[in-house]
Structure 1
């Protein structure tokens, strides 16, 4: 006879007994924990943390650099509901991102808790936040975090699909419907939706712009601000009676005045730190005012370089900074070529230009061929990155480009010597380093969890983290193979084929364990599907095709178990896949 016992507390549960002498226990998670799981899976990034990072990277938000827009006629018309969408457009380095940071602060100060202010910062250099799906996930995440009742719109689909709802091939369509349902929710307060750098949305930009145009027309009580470069295709899709453009080039006087205030702020700070004389300080100010061309980024890069120069050399070096971003980048790459560590600098710049997201120091060392004494010395490595200072910066042990235009310069100017063999050869090199890093790092029960059913949410990374050097490699190794030029040869070369086969034979299950720990199993599924697609129809050996097909099917079939517990499938996989 079966018996049923109910439990109260943070977990509700039902215990059913007498099943061939065994007791079957099933715990049903509380509504709170299910909501938390949904939020955790929805989140790709916290836009508020992104805003803080961007402001810190740029030395803080200066009110004098953005306050002009508050008196702008088009901005005030938008505030007074004469338009539903405001499009702030301008060339690279004109301060669009910091302008939006300032607007977010002003709207927050003005409305407090009486309005929703949801925002997202696109970044082309980071694959996690450079696509339309990520934008919607970020906006929805901000809205439901502030108003938990809105989560019901997400949960209605999430309860059936789980995390795959946000990541599979239909994610954009599903999220669009959820987002639309939220916008028309009668309980939603006044809402401001702000997206910075939509031109850096490298996947799904057209769909995103169409959604913005439609939503701003259909739901006029929800107001939008977007920023971008002066791209005709963006103008085409946003050109309607609902969109008011603010061109930074047409507001040159206001922008120039803001840049002038920014220059004085930066130079006076430099003068205090470097102990400049009044004459040196004023000379630097005049030079920057004469050559900035209304570009915040140019000023920031010059001041950054001056900060590394002794004060008695400041005036002598000042004339070496040419006006214009591209001219400045040209000078900086010459500086890299002339340094004693030119080869290491070029290797780092090449890798940073190719990787799909910013990388940490440990990851960089695993992806770049560097002298042994350099790769093991984090202080020396920081000094090398400082030589690349006008292209790269470091924030919380993570290396990032100072601006999207810096990466574009390196990729565009092939004569700069950063890619002697071309970008495809660089992808091939990174692919090889990724496999090497995973072979060196991955092992069974890498976190010493020991218990096969131990839940992923309770896993605490040890310190130091044994996965630190291989995090990037685990997620992106197939992407680099895909872009390594293999398709022109119509097949993998013997070395690539051998490495892929050996990896699947010896490290595949350890890779799945690592993906579970990293919360990146969906990327692993996408990687295996991509690898399977690459090999099909290209004359690859049948044995390798079967191996990849079986591995791809295994990760998809066992996804729930692998995601919930990193060690759950090891034994079954070793038997089913014949893995060592």
Structure 2
């Protein structure tokens, strides 16, 4: 019997992302029998039964690949003989789900729960890492995973959205595509691997280097037309958003026909059009909207952005900026505070301006954002908080592309956005210029920990180019000691203990690579040799972070 306390300790040490949140979200969007064209195919049957089998399902953006992945996982879960079943979703919305190492950590954890035999290699690795006092390298994790697979008779593995992995290139201990090749070439040859992605050139080139033509399934529009039609029919006839037309079956049929005429295999496009039709309160506006449906996702997103009321645009832009470039997903209560911050007025933040109903923040951005459970980022199993995320990878791609309308493009340039977020974070921290226990700050000011953790990361990108940002940094470092202390009691970037006084401003500026701030602090008489922080003083703090200019 495994020691459950040791199990929990190893889970914390692995710090693996939880793919079940992606699975549950996609499953919730799936309609009955969608994906049956594949689930009932000979291709899928062969993959399930043939040892060391491989399938690559690819299709255009928005064709429903992730929903299909979840249908596949659900189908496999229903058959006890298809165990152990492992899965992972790469996710553009979550930096913790974008790399090979994150995936392997999750798969190792999943497989370790299968049996004592698959548990033992992980337990041995934990012991070799001084019972969790040090982290394993990605190479060690990859090797342990292969060793764990050897202990299982067969393994079924589903990987969704390879194109959303940012570490695709490189050797098998660093790059996802080489890792896949090595996995299929492992000596046990007992893996059934199914992957989905867009047909990106690097993915196609690598996969076709080892896969047979029969191992590739192109998700064509003709294959998923029935799935989209079933989805449209369900929304039109059963969703409360369009219930006003239930007494008009002729209008319901018109909606279904017009949307299906232009869907062309794009689930995501279809979702956006039905969302937009919710705003048509009478037939005249509905008929007009159906007669001018956008042809592409780009046109759809452009229309959504144009349709945001003038009074909402500032809030909508700030939400989309944060979600496009955030270091991690934002909880709803964090996003609510982020849009209230006023970086140009005398009062940086006033809680009275918060939304009375936090979930109504969705109304600023229409179909571009969604709310999901935040439980996976908390060790509290009863955590019921929610996160705000971009609705689809194609939204982020559009906002960061050269296809964005010229008057909007400036607002989503990376340097501009990161400068803006850094200033917002500093303004929020400067508001906290009063003494409160840290627990009360976290409870009363939900954005505080995010700001304390990430402001310097954003600031380092643009500090030298923006005078307003420099002014906020100087104000924070030099004029508001209580705000400064609160910040570094919320988060110590050098991982030093959170008891005792924080290190000096020069120390943290050096640690974060803020060259202009360091120059300014030195000009004001800051002591280079002042002791404090994990690294002792400012010079080694800069050196060990690789900030050679400092």
Q: TM (normalized to structure 2)?
A: 0.78
1:431–1:478: 8 Å Cα contact kept in structure 2? yes
1:435 equivalent in structure 2: 426
2:62–2:268: 8 Å Cα contact kept in structure 1? yes
With over 3 angstroms needed to count, the CA separation of the structure-2 counterparts of 1:493 and 1:106, relative to structure 1, is closer
> After the TM superposition, which of the residue ranges 281-290 and 431-440 deviates more from structure 2?
431-440
**Is 1:386 the counterpart of 2:363 in the alignment?**
yes
1:565 equivalent in structure 2: none
Q: CA shift at 1:295, angstroms?
A: 0.5
Which of residues 68, 72, 75 is equivalent to 1:103? 72
Which of residues 292, 295, 302 is equivalent to 2:273? 302
Q: CA shift at 1:538, angstroms?
A: 10
2:333–2:358: 8 Å Cα contact kept in structure 1? no
Which of residues 255, 260, 266 is equivalent to 1:284? 255
Which of residues 166, 177, 186 is equivalent to 2:143? 177
2:381 equivalent in structure 1: none
1:478–1:531: 8 Å Cα contact kept in structure 2? no
Q: CA shift at 1:195, angstroms?
A: 1.3
Q: TM (normalized to structure 1)?
A: 0.74
1:484 equivalent in structure 2: 462
1:129 equivalent in structure 2: 97
Cα shift readout 1:187-242 (whole Å, capped 9, x = no counterpart): x2421121111111124554122111101121421121111111111122222444
Counterpart secondary structure, 1:150: helix
Counterpart secondary structure, 1:378: coil
**2:14 and 2:489 mapped to 1: Cα distance?**
22
**2:16 and 2:531 mapped to 1: Cα distance?**
29
**2:350 and 2:473 mapped to 1: Cα distance?**
32
With over 3 angstroms needed to count, the CA separation of the structure-2 counterparts of 1:230 and 1:549, relative to structure 1, is farther
Which of residues 107, 110, 113 is equivalent to 1:139? 107
**1:319 and 1:233 mapped to 2: Cα distance?**
39
1:139–1:193: 8 Å Cα contact kept in structure 2? no
2:112–2:122: 8 Å Cα contact kept in structure 1? no
1:374–1:381: 8 Å Cα contact kept in structure 2? no
1:259–1:296: 8 Å Cα contact kept in structure 2? yes
**Is 1:471 the counterpart of 2:442 in the alignment?**
no
Q: CA shift at 1:334, angstroms?
A: 1.1
**2:118 and 2:430 mapped to 1: Cα distance?**
44
**1:318 and 1:521 mapped to 2: Cα distance?**
60
With over 3 angstroms needed to count, the CA separation of the structure-2 counterparts of 1:548 and 1:127, relative to structure 1, is farther
Q: CA shift at 1:136, angstroms?
A: 1.1
Cα shift readout 1:491-534 (whole Å, capped 9, x = no counterpart): 99753652564599766775565349xx9999xxxxx9996373
With over 3 angstroms needed to count, the CA separation of the structure-2 counterparts of 1:64 and 1:493, relative to structure 1, is closer
Cα shift readout 1:344-389 (whole Å, capped 9, x = no counterpart): 2223222222212221232124433567799734246644531411
**2:56 and 2:99 mapped to 1: Cα distance?**
19
With over 3 angstroms needed to count, the CA separation of the structure-2 counterparts of 1:444 and 1:55, relative to structure 1, is same
Q: CA shift at 1:278, angstroms?
A: 0.6
With over 3 angstroms needed to count, the CA separation of the structure-2 counterparts of 1:193 and 1:546, relative to structure 1, is farther
**1:179 and 1:415 mapped to 2: Cα distance?**
48
**1:406 and 1:259 mapped to 2: Cα distance?**
20
Which of residues 54, 61, 66 is equivalent to 2:26? 54
1:34 equivalent in structure 2: 6
**Is 1:190 the counterpart of 2:158 in the alignment?**
no
1:551 equivalent in structure 2: 533
2:331–2:387: 8 Å Cα contact kept in structure 1? yes
**1:53 and 1:552 mapped to 2: Cα distance?**
41
**1:152 and 1:140 mapped to 2: Cα distance?**
11
With over 3 angstroms needed to count, the CA separation of the structure-2 counterparts of 1:512 and 1:303, relative to structure 1, is same
Cα shift readout 1:51-103 (whole Å, capped 9, x = no counterpart): 113333x3xx2243211112344433322327622111111101000000000
2:463–2:470: 8 Å Cα contact kept in structure 1? no
With over 3 angstroms needed to count, the CA separation of the structure-2 counterparts of 1:31 and 1:381, relative to structure 1, is closer
**1:334 and 1:226 mapped to 2: Cα distance?**
36
* Number of aligned residues: 493
Alignment of 1:331-480 (within 5 A): 331-336=303-308, 338-369=309-340, 376-379=353-356, 382-383=359-360, 385-395=362-372, 397-412=386-401, 413=404, 415-417=406-408, 419-420=410-411, 422-441=413-432, 445-447=437-439, 465-466=443-444, 468-480=446-458
Q: CA shift at 1:467, angstroms?
A: 5.7
Q: Which runs of 5+ in 2 are unaligned?
A: 343-348, 374-385, 499-506, 538-550
**2:390 and 2:419 mapped to 1: Cα distance?**
22
Cα shift readout 1:33-66 (whole Å, capped 9, x = no counterpart): 232111133243322233113333x3xx224321
1:131–1:205: 8 Å Cα contact kept in structure 2? no
> After the TM superposition, which of the residue ranges 312-321 and 491-500 deviates more from structure 2?
491-500
With over 3 angstroms needed to count, the CA separation of the structure-2 counterparts of 1:175 and 1:546, relative to structure 1, is farther
With over 3 angstroms needed to count, the CA separation of the structure-2 counterparts of 1:485 and 1:226, relative to structure 1, is farther
Q: Which runs of 5+ in 1 are unaligned?
A: 1-29, 449-461, 523-527, 556-580
1:386–1:393: 8 Å Cα contact kept in structure 2? no
**1:504 and 1:91 mapped to 2: Cα distance?**
52
With over 3 angstroms needed to count, the CA separation of the structure-2 counterparts of 1:370 and 1:438, relative to structure 1, is closer
> After the TM superposition, which of the residue ranges 326-335 and 354-363 deviates more from structure 2?
354-363
Cα shift readout 1:301-343 (whole Å, capped 9, x = no counterpart): 111222343254433322232122111111111112x543223
2:511 equivalent in structure 1: 532
**2:509 and 2:41 mapped to 1: Cα distance?**
49
> After the TM superposition, which of the residue ranges 75-84 and 318-327 deviates more from structure 2?
75-84
**1:301 and 1:332 mapped to 2: Cα distance?**
9
1:193–1:225: 8 Å Cα contact kept in structure 2? yes
